[in-house]
Amino acid sequence: MKIKETIYLDYQATTPIETQVWDKMVPYFREMFGNPHSSDHFLGWNASQALEKAATRVGMLIGSDSNEIIFTSGATEANNLALLGVSRRAAQGKRGRILVSTIEHKSMLAVSRILQDQLGYQVEYLPVDHEGLIDIAYLDETLNEDVLIVSIMAVNNEIGTIQNIEAISNMIRGYGAFFHCDAAQAPCALDINKFARIVDFISLSAHKMYGPKGIGALYIRHDLQEMVEPLIYGGGQQGALRSGTVPVPLCVGMGTAADLVMGEWGEQSRAELRKLRDNFIQQLQGLPWSITLNGPKKHRHPGNANLCFMGFSAHEILNSLQPYVAASTGSACTSGIPEPSHVLKGIGLSEQEIEGSIRFSLGRGTTPDDLAEAVQLIDKTLSDLAELKHH
């Protein structure tokens, strides 16, 4: 996908809204603008029905009922609601330990610190191997009856690692702990229509799956909803779990996007992306530079290529590529923070390897021509930077 002269390779940061998604949203900004919580007139009923349909579609994506879907402003809020909501209700109970993987999204790591510092929970970080996979044996040793909740993301946002959620779930449930899964990156990576059967809380984000920004959802298993303390109080909307007028156009957009990614459209996209991604890596590794792949070989998001350009600075490469290639050094939520990626650190990379690593993420608009051009531009950039070093 080209935006003017820029080849866009940062789909894991955000995806463009698909045309079908946008078309479904537009009427709810203008003609059908009613408040879904206005229960005395037709426009309110109409908006309420649209909301129910959107919740049903998001529910179908993960295999849940519509009344188990709580719309939020995004996956960050969903992560906060899950962890803080459960932990506040269960504070001073028998279960005082919380387990979180070392390569979670920054929002999860930030919440974990709050749980420890303000609520007195003992937060422990689960290590991963060099591919970013959870050490199942270590998890089994660490789990016992005093663990309240375990949080492990389905698909990593930097290196694309896909966890074995079913195996992890079986282990956690054996100890009676809750399982939260940040699945923001999962819909474009794999079929998640059985997740609601094996996970208690699931965070989702619309703009990671060709929907609008500013909307996400938290799946909360029906029988657990009373165990969650809200973050936002008010008019009691969404079962009082998240008060405030729900943004109907955004929810409609999220529902439509969920519908697309779980159908044939999504399946074809994943297969095509995998081929394009593998070809892109092959082309780059055919250049006369030391370029290695970070993270998993197999269990990986089909659009993710996190690569180390040994001996170079990722920031210098990306700056030199402007405005022709849009990629990133890692999570969009951590850009601007001058510290090494905790994910690349977590899989055992050295500071020099982290310094030279770039995440390229491909998506539905990516073409073979885009990638061939990007390879040429990267090759020229590396030549220019190498020459500068020698002078």
Beta-bridged to residue 161, according to DSSP, are 300
**What letter represents residue 247's amino acid?**
P
188 as an active site residue: the answer is: no
User: In angstroms, what CA-CA distances link 287 with 33, 74, 269, 280, 383?
Assistant: 54, 39, 27, 11, 11
Please provide the distance, in angstroms rounded to a whole number, between the alpha carbons at the two ends of the chain. Answer: 36
Angstrom distance (rounded) from CA 37 to CA 119: 34
Q: Determine the 3-state secondary structure of 62 from DSSP.
A: helix
Angstrom distance (rounded) from CA 13 to CA 158: 9
Identify the helix (H) or strand (E) that includes residue 304. strand 304-309
DSSP 85-152: HHHHHTTTSS--EEEEETT--HHHHHHHHHHHHHH--EEEEE-B-TTS-B-HHHHHHH--TTEEEEE-
Could you tell me the two tokens for 145?
């009856």
Angstrom distance (rounded) from CA 153 to CA 168: 11
Beta strand 291-293 with 147-151 is unpaired
Q: Which value, to the nearest 10 degrees, does the dihedral of the CA atoms of residues 130, 195, 95, 99 take?
A: 10
Residue found under tokens 């929810």: 251
Q: Is the dihedral of CA 349, 350, 353, 358 positive or negative?
A: positive
Q: Of the residues 181, 251, 308, 333, which is catalytic?
A: 333
Could you tell me the two tokens for 23?
């078309």
Length of the chain: 391
Angstrom distance (rounded) from CA 18 to CA 1: 13
Q: Which residues are catalytic?
A: 333
